[in-house]
Every structure is written in C-alpha cells, then in structure tokens.
Amino acid sequence: MAIGFATKDRGGRRRNLLELVVMAVTAALFVLFAIGIEGFATPGNLGVVLSNSASLVILSCGMAVVIVSRGLELALIAEMVAGATTFSILINAGVGGPEALLLAVGAMALVGCANAWLIAYVEIPAMLATLASAMFVTGLVRYAVLGGEFLLLLPKSNPAVVLLSGDILPGVPAPVALMVAALVATGFLLRYSAAGRTIYAMGDNFQAARLGGLPVRTTTIVVYVFAALMALFAGLVTAAASGTVDFRTVTNGSLLFEVILVVVLGGIPLRGGRGGVRNIIVGVALIAVLRNGMTLMNVTTQMQDVIKGFVLIIAIVLDNYLNPRDTETDTAGDL
Amino acid sequence: MTPILELRNGTKEYRGVPAVKDVTFTLHRGEVHALVGENGAGKSTLTKMLAGVVTPTAGEVLLDGRATVLSTPAEALRHGIAMVYQETSLVPSLTVAQNLYLADKRFFHRLRGIYIAGQQFLQSLNFDVDPMALVSSLGAGQKQMVEIARAVHHNANVIIFDEPTATLTPEEKHQFFSLVDRLRARGVSIIFISHALEEALAIADRITVMRDGEHVVSDEAARFDRESIVRAMVGRSLSDELYGARARRSPREAREKVLSVQNLSMGKAVKNTSFSVFSGQITGVFGLIGSGRTEAAKVVAGVMKRDTFHGGQVRLDGRPVRYRVPRPAVRDGIVYVTEDRKLEGFFETMSIAENIHLSAVAGGRSRSRVISLREMKEIADTWIGALNVRAINGDARVIELSGGNQQKVVVAKALVQKPRLVIFDEPTRGVDVGAIAEIHQLINRLADEGIAVMVISSYLPEVLQLSDRILVCRQGRIVEEFAGDSADEETIMYAAVH
C-alpha cells in the first residue's frame, strides 16, 4: 500500500504517525528543558504548566469537535471573551452566581445556534460564517456592554474568581478539574454518543452522511453549541486567573492560532473525520512545554510567535511527508 | 516497426486494490485501436496511465520504444498524447477559439487573432463549429469536436477517446466516425474505449478485450465478431445466465401505488416529468447519461430540491411530500442508493460494522443515544451474512474491499433502514460479474417481499433483465413506458435517443 509509514492498530485503522512524532519531540524537549533550565522540572513549575494550559485545553476541545466535523470555528475566542463578560456583568449587576452562569450558558448556546444555523441551514461556509460572527459578537459586546472599553476588571468577590482560583480538592486546582471534565465530556461526545458518530461521519464524507439520512443539521447545532460552551468555560478560567476580561485576545489573534496549532499538531487533520481526545492532549503537551520553557528562558513574546509559526509549518510539511496525499483519490475540499 | 505507444506489464493499484493487473498494451502508428470490456474491467485506468493522468504502480510506458515517465497530463500532451473525456474538459464560459488556444505557451492573445486562426484551423479539420460561440451553448457532439480540435492543435499524434459515443445522437455519431477516419488519414493513432461492440467492429483496426483488470486478447478487428468479443469480455457463460437468455418469467403484478410524481421540474435537468412506482415490483428506468433520471430520483429522495415554482408534486401513498434534506425521506422509508459509492456512499475511515450501524441509527432502527458496541456487531453481522459481503470481519474498512463488496455494504446501509421504496442508481457499476448476479438476486427478492423498487441503469440488458415495467427517460422527461416482457433492446434504445 501507498501508506507504507502508517502503523496499524486493532481495527486495522491507520495510526497517525504525526502524533507519534509530536509525542517524541515533546518528550525530547521535556528532557532538554529539565537538564538545561533551572527550575523547569520542579513540581511547582509543572503545576503551573498544567494550570496554565487549562483554558487552552478547554478551547481545543471545542475546536477539535468542530474540526472533526469538517468545520472551522473562528469565533471561538470571541465567544470566550463575550461569555466571560456576560457572566461578570451579570454578577456586577447583582445576579446570583448560579443564575448568572445559567444565563451566560444560554447566551453562548444562542451564539452557537446562530453559527450553526448560518452554516447548516443558510449553507454559508463555516469559515466565513464564524469569521463574521466573531466580528459581530466582539463588536456588539464592546459597544453595548463595555461602552467601547476593551478591558473589564473583575472584583475579587466575583464567584468565578473565588471558585476557579482555589482548589476543588486538596492539591487539585479548580481549572485543572474543569479541564479534565472538558476532556471527559469531549471524549464521551465523540466516542460513545450517537451524535459523535454523526460528527465523524460528517467529517469523513458529508454527502454520504446527508444522503444516508443522518441528522446533519441538528448535529451541526450540537457541534457549534458545544464549542461555544467550551469557549465560555475557558473564558471563565482565564478571567479568574488574570482578574480581567481582555478583548485584545480576540483582536491579536494569537490565541486562536494556538488553538488551531494544538489541534493540528495533535494529529487532527483539517479535512475532518479523524482524531479524538488523545490528539488534543498530545498537541497541548507540546505547546505547553514549549511555551513554559521559552518563558523560563526569557524568550520574548515576538520570538515565541516566530517559533510557534515555524513549528506549525514543520508539522504540516512533516504530515504531508508521512501521510502522502494521493491526488488521484483525494476528495474535493481536502486540505 | 516499433509501436508508437506501449504499456509494458503495467499495474495500477488503488489503495492496494488492483484496477489493472500486469497488462501489456501496444498501439501502432496510424491505427484505430478499440478497447472493450465490461464496467470496471480497467479500460479507463489503462488509458489514464497512457495519458499521464495516473502513474502506474508497476510497469512502464514506452513512447516510440523508449521508456518514458508521464507524470502529468500536460507532460503527456507535450509528447503528443491527448485524452478526450466523456465529460468534456472545456471551459464553458469561454468561446471555442479561446478554449482551443487556452493551454498555449503565449501569455497574451489578441482575440481577433485567435478567432481568425481558429476559423482557419477548424476549417482545415472540416469541423462545422463557430469559433466565436460560447462552449456552453454547444451540443455534446460539437463540444467533442472542439475537444478533438484542441488535441489536434496540440499536435497530438495519439488521441485517446473515453466512450466518445455514449452521449451522442445518431447523426453526431456518424459525424464522429467520419472524423475518426480523417484523423486516421492524417496519421494519428487512436485509442477508442467503447461499450458498443458494433462501433468497435466497424471502425477499429485492432481490438483489445479486457476483463477484471486483465488483458484477455488483442487482435485484428476482422478476426472478431460480436459473439467472440462477448465471450472474451465475460470469460465464462455467466453473462448468458445474467443477460443473454432472459429469465422468461412473467412480470410481477403491481400492488399499491407507493410513489406518484406529477409534473416534476428541476432546473434544466428535469422537465415536467411524471411517473409512478408500485410496491411489489421493479420499475426500471433507462436513459442515457444526462437524461435527468438521477436528478428526478434525487428530488424524490430529498437530495436535491425541485423548482420552487411549478416544481410539480411528489406523493408518497397519496400524501404530498416535499423534502428539503434526505433525512425526512429516509424516515418516511424512501432510500436512494447512490450511483457513485466512493463520492457519497460510505465512510472510508470507518469499518463495515460502523458504516452499517450508523445507517441503522440514521433510519431510526436503533433507539439509544449512546452507541452500543454489542448492538453494532449484531446488526453488522446480520447484514454481512445476509448480503454475503466477503471480508475478513466487520472490522475491515470498506475502502479495502473490492468494488462488488463495497456495493453490497452500500446496499446493506440502505436496507438496514427498512425502506418501503428503494431507488437503486446504477446498482452494478464497477462491480465484478459474480457480485452482479448476487445484487440482482437481492433486488428481485426485495420486490418479491413487497417493497417498491426502482432501478436506474444505463445498461440496457440489466434493465431488461430486472424490470417488471420499464420507463425510458430522455432530455429530462419520462417519454415512454413498456411492460417488462414486451420490450426489446432496439425499441427501448430508439425511445431513449430520438
């Protein structure tokens, strides 16, 4: 067979070799940093690495589900910021914690539904629909809620700050618990639910899924609502950690880039239909180790961006080399 | 004399499945060489290797006796090899002359210049096509002329035609044959893929027969007749069982009218057509490619939308229905089995079992919201057994199966949804002879069980063999209806082309 490199697992399915390479590189970097950087391999620092990647993991869960269904969610960061703002404003206005969370969940579900409606019913390409909704949502929240400001300061009494900056169990910070919960939820959705099988089917062959009578439209709603909710939780985690909601994370775009980087590096191809929770973990592990190591080495943010961009290109080139595309059997729209 | 083009021991595999196995094919200078064989015999793949569209997995291409690697169609064209496809590769929004000069090396053309040059060039070929006409305004025959002119313009000395006559009217066919003669007179060598054996016998100098990806025989056309070609094509008398001697059974009686379509219109493909399908019998639909049969079926199954205004009516059990997506149609028991299984038939990352089970879920045959592996295995094993899918086990991926077994999986996906009306679109395309018989048996069994079955096919013997009623489709309309036992090939074909 043409795919000589690929290994096979139980079901005779191809294992993604990129995933193995990324795991090996992560391990190598870890060893290198542990030897070369003082204070990297301490329990304290590793705890920080874990806590710091919580919001990235949660966002990546949302993005991964969308990409497996062969969609793209460019409004993820906008939803994250908008969700955190909605929650905090409600708290400031005197609404109770649980009610505020419920309303924020409702608002984000609405945004997710709007995205899905544009994509599944109006049939606008996902990239354009979510790009437009990202602009719309950010602009609306800044105009209507913040009065043009781009920064929202959270008081120390904000329940999100209180809850998410403490430990849920002794030694388990709340963001880490939330991160694990997100991974478990994503795993269940993709692997064991009927909707999850439809998500893979849509990513694999949308025409066949539609023709076979699978609920492609309602599943699109499930996908984008799930992503929006993940964004909301990630937003709360980030807001609690920094004490602010910063709209510049939407406009500078580097977080969105990082999320896509995690998904692609982890081995979830943009053409959809493949990948799972394990891939998210693999992708985040590399980015988290790299980010922490570079920060400890005092690499400037700009230089970090250069390196991350470089890593993405290397990964894509490597993927093309390891899983050569067969132009004769490609389906239209493959990336 | 060295042949102008040769494929020596060529093999082409798609994902490990050979489409062409160790075939040696030679084309002599100035000859017309017909390539015949059943659907899926490997004719197209063989010629694609010669035209640089695909690269052989093993073996080599020899040009004038020298081994040459043709990795792209453009490279083959530089060596003088051009391929003319069934679906033309012209740009519809440009004029004839612009299409002719499209691939020229010059960066910039004066329009007037190419119209004059185009006019002279077309005249020199004796083609009656206006160089200033838009390609989209031309008929199938004229488009083909432009394709051929383009090939000649690029100094092609080998031209490969992939089923050139399939979509042509009789007059256009006649023109095409005289064109082939003129090309031969100019010293052009021609490969000609055809299903129509009489054409091959009439215009070819030599004939090569292929079967199941293997070379069967090559010889002078004069040494063949229709019977000997058919024998070589099918290899055994199985084809006689299948098509030759039709089972002399009386047509099944119609039970209830399940589907009734009135004045259905959809864009340019379906124009004001009406037909009905009854339970307990097989309704065959015959028509040439582009006659609108697939589109009409797809509208019924909710895959495509009919025109918003004056789109006509579709009634299921007398109840008007209008589906925007296939899902409600599937839930109502209408299942469409696609003609292109690779494009829209199955999920290639999933196993046979997952494919079948997911379809059961879609059809509402599995209530649970959480996937049960045990249920999946049960459903899959039942259908793999019932349809005799040959695979190691249900965990094998569909893409690794042969065409016939892939088709059985696609059929299983449809039947697991317990349909009341099944529309088979080209059910045996690219399927090996053995599996064809099994699929035909299955279709007959469905009708016996009282399901309404519609079979769309462009292969006349198949339509004749299966159908209790035959509808003939031409230019977006059902133009004629025959009882299954009263029709013969000539009358049906006559209705389909005139």
Q: Which domains does chain A have, with CATH numbers?
A: 17-322 (1.10.3470)
Domain end call among B241, B260, B293:
B241
Record: contact A212-B330, CB cut-off 8 A: yes
Tell whether B399 and B456 lie within a shared domain: no
pLDDT of residue A5: 33
Domain end call among B418, B449, B469:
B418
Record: contact A192-B343, CB cut-off 8 A: no
pLDDT of residue B95: 87
Residue A306 has pLDDT above 50, yes or no: yes
d(CA B193, CA B34): 6
pLDDT tier at A13, thresholds 50, 70, 90: very low
Domain end call among B225, B241, B257:
B241
d(CA B374, CA B353): 11
Which among A1, A10, A204 has CB closest to B349?
Answer: A204
Question: Average pLDDT of chain B?
Answer: 85
Interval B259-264 mean pLDDT: 93
Contact A322, A5 (CB under 8 A): yes
Interval B330-349 mean pLDDT: 90
Q: Characterize B471-492 residue by residue with b for buried, 16 or more Cβ atoms within 10 angstroms of its Cβ, and e for exposed.
A: bbbbbbbbbbebebeebeeeeb
Amino acid (one-letter) located at A135: M
> Which residues does chain A have within 8 Å of residue B348's beta carbon, measured at their own beta carbons?
204-205
pLDDT tens, residue by residue, A110-129 = 999 999 999 999 999 999 99
> Is residue A193 classed as helix, strand or coil in its secondary structure?
strand
pLDDT tier at B85, thresholds 50, 70, 90: confident
d(CA B446, CA B452): 8
Residue entry with tokens 């990513």: A203
Question: Average pLDDT of chain A?
Answer: 86
Tell whether B391 and B491 lie within a shared domain: no
The C-alpha of A70 sits at a distance from chain B's nearest C-alpha, in angstroms, of: 14
Quickly count: other Cβ atoms within 10 Å of residue A260's Cβ. 21
Quickly count: other Cβ atoms within 10 Å of residue B30's Cβ. 16
CATH code of residue B55? 3.40.50.300
Record: contact B344-A208, CB cut-off 8 A: yes
Tell whether B57 and B155 lie within a shared domain: yes
Record: contact B326-A213, CB cut-off 8 A: yes
Picking from B55, B330, B344, B355 by the largest number of A CB atoms within 10 A of its own CB, the best residue to mutate is B344
pLDDT above 70 covers a percentage of chain B that reads 92
Contact B194, B34 (CB under 8 A): yes
pLDDT of residue A116: 96
Residue B153 has pLDDT above 80, yes or no: yes
Tell whether B319 and B308 lie within a shared domain: yes
Interval B280-286 mean pLDDT: 93
Picking from A211, A221, A323 by the largest number of B CB atoms within 10 A of its own CB, the best residue to mutate is A211
Interval B104-131 mean pLDDT: 80
pLDDT tens, residue by residue, A155-183 = 888 887 888 877 777 778 889 999 999 99
**Measuring CA to CA, which residue among B10, B105, B94, B14 is closest to residue B51?**
B10
Interval B214-226 mean pLDDT: 85
**B427 or B40, higher pLDDT:** B427
Contact A16, A3 (CB under 8 A): no
Contact B404, B432 (CB under 8 A): yes
B368 touches chain A (CB under 8 A): yes
Which among A192, A200, A210 has CB closest to B326?
Answer: A210
**B435 or B451, higher pLDDT:** B451
Record: contact B329-A198, CB cut-off 8 A: no
pLDDT tens, residue by residue, A191-212 = 999 999 999 999 999 999 999 9
Tell whether B256 and B373 lie within a shared domain: no
> Which residues does chain A have within 8 Å of residue B325's beta carbon, measured at their own beta carbons?
210, 216-217
- Taken in order A120, A125, A128, A134, the sign of the CA dihedral is positive
Query: Burial of A163 by CB count in 10 Å (0-12 exposed, 13-18 middle, 19+ buried)?
Result: middle
> Which residues does chain B have within 8 Å of residue A196's beta carbon, measured at their own beta carbons?
371
Interval B205-234 mean pLDDT: 83
| Lookup: tokens for A325 | 């595309």
Determine, yes or no, domain membership for B338. Answer: no
> Which residues does chain A have within 8 Å of residue B336's beta carbon, measured at their own beta carbons?
211
| Residue-range definition of the domain harbouring residue B368 | 345-418
Helix (H) or strand (E) holding A169: strand A167-169
Determine, yes or no, domain membership for B340. Answer: no
Which among A193, A210, A213 has CB closest to B371?
Answer: A193
Q: List, in sequence order, every residue forming a beta bridge with B211; answer none if it has no partner.
A: B214
Tell whether B268 and B156 lie within a shared domain: no
Record: contact A1-B303, CB cut-off 8 A: no
pLDDT tier at B69, thresholds 50, 70, 90: confident
Interval B209-229 mean pLDDT: 83
- Chains A, B: CB contacts under 8 A, how many? 104
Total structural domains in chain B? 3
Record: contact B345-A329, CB cut-off 8 A: no
Which residues of A touch chain B, with CB atoms under 8 Å apart? Answer: 1-2, 10-13, 191-198, 200-201, 204-205, 207-217, 273-274, 328-329, 331
> Is residue A245 classed as helix, strand or coil in its secondary structure?
strand
Amino acid (one-letter) located at A301: T
pLDDT of residue B32: 92
Tell whether B392 and B469 lie within a shared domain: no
The residues, ordered by sequence, that sit 6+ positions from B169 with a Cβ below 8 Å of its Cβ are B141, B497
The residues, ordered by sequence, that sit 6+ positions from B397 with a Cβ below 8 Å of its Cβ are A11, A12, A13, B348, B349, B350, B351, B352
pLDDT of residue A329: 45
The residues, ordered by sequence, that sit 6+ positions from B460 with a Cβ below 8 Å of its Cβ are B286, B489, B492, B493
pLDDT tier at B458, thresholds 50, 70, 90: confident
Residue of A nearest to B53 (CA): A328
Tell whether B62 and B166 lie within a shared domain: yes
Sheet holding B214-220, edge to edge: B81-84, B158-162, B189-194, B32-36, B206-211, B214-220
Record: contact B326-A211, CB cut-off 8 A: yes
| Lookup: tokens for B184 | 């031969």
Interval B199-228 mean pLDDT: 85
pLDDT of residue B412: 94
pLDDT of residue A181: 95
**B354 or B174, higher pLDDT:** B354
> Which residues does chain B have within 8 Å of residue A205's beta carbon, measured at their own beta carbons?
343-344, 346-348
pLDDT tier at A332, thresholds 50, 70, 90: very low
Record: contact B347-A273, CB cut-off 8 A: yes
> Which residues does chain B have within 8 Å of residue A194's beta carbon, measured at their own beta carbons?
361, 366, 368-371
Q: Which of residues 415-454 of B touch A (CB under 8 A)?
A: 417
pLDDT of residue B242: 55
Contact B426, B458 (CB under 8 A): yes
> Which residues does chain B have within 8 Å of residue A268's beta carbon, measured at their own beta carbons?
none
Tell whether B80 and B149 lie within a shared domain: yes
Residue of A nearest to B332 (CA): A213
B17 touches chain A (CB under 8 A): no
Q: Which of A143-157, B335-349, B407-421 has the lowest mean pLDDT?
A: A143-157
Determine, yes or no, domain membership for B115. Answer: yes
Residue of B nearest to A68 (CA): B349
Residue entry with tokens 């793999």: B384
Residue A330 has pLDDT above 60, yes or no: no
| Lookup: tokens for A136 | 């719309």
The residues, ordered by sequence, that sit 6+ positions from B395 with a Cβ below 8 Å of its Cβ are A10, A11, A12, B351, B352, B353
Which among A197, A212, A215 has CB closest to B371?
Answer: A197
Amino acid (one-letter) located at B326: P
> Which residues does chain A have within 8 Å of residue B347's beta carbon, measured at their own beta carbons?
200-201, 204-205, 208-209, 273
Helix (H) or strand (E) holding A59: helix A54-68
Residue A331 has pLDDT above 60, yes or no: no
pLDDT above 70 covers a percentage of chain A that reads 91
Which among A2, A10, A217 has CB closest to B325?
Answer: A217
Determine, yes or no, domain membership for B339. Answer: no
Interval A16-34 mean pLDDT: 89
pLDDT tens, residue by residue, A74-111 = 999 999 999 999 999 898 888 888 899 999 999 999 99
pLDDT of residue A129: 95
> Which residues does chain B have within 8 Å of residue A202's beta carbon, measured at their own beta carbons?
none
> Is residue A20 classed as helix, strand or coil in its secondary structure?
helix
| Lookup: tokens for A210 | 């539609």
Q: List, in sequence order, every residue forming a beta bridge with A17; answer none if it has no partner.
A: none
The C-alpha of A192 sits at a distance from chain B's nearest C-alpha, in angstroms, of: 5
Interval A29-39 mean pLDDT: 90
Quickly count: other Cβ atoms within 10 Å of residue B399's Cβ. 17
Contact B496, B311 (CB under 8 A): no
Tell whether B194 and B205 lie within a shared domain: yes
Determine, yes or no, domain membership for B276. Answer: yes
The C-alpha of B199 sits at a distance from chain A's nearest C-alpha, in angstroms, of: 31
d(CA A121, CA B339): 26
d(CA B139, CA A228): 51
Tell whether B103 and B78 lie within a shared domain: yes
Amino acid (one-letter) located at A35: I
Record: contact B359-A213, CB cut-off 8 A: yes
Interval B33-44 mean pLDDT: 80
pLDDT of residue B15: 63
Cα A2 to Cα A6, A316, B20: the distances in Å are 9, 19, 16
Residue A14 has pLDDT above 80, yes or no: no
Sort residue B213 into left (φ over 0), alpha (ψ -120 to 50) or beta.
left
Residue B172 has pLDDT above 80, yes or no: no
Residue A281 has pLDDT above 60, yes or no: yes
> Which residues does chain A have within 8 Å of residue B393's beta carbon, measured at their own beta carbons?
none
**Measuring CA to CA, which residue among B311, B316, B307 is closest to residue B276?**
B316
pLDDT of residue B290: 72
> Is residue A153 classed as helix, strand or coil in its secondary structure?
strand
Tell whether B270 and B412 lie within a shared domain: no
| Lookup: tokens for B303 | 């895959």
Record: contact A12-B417, CB cut-off 8 A: no
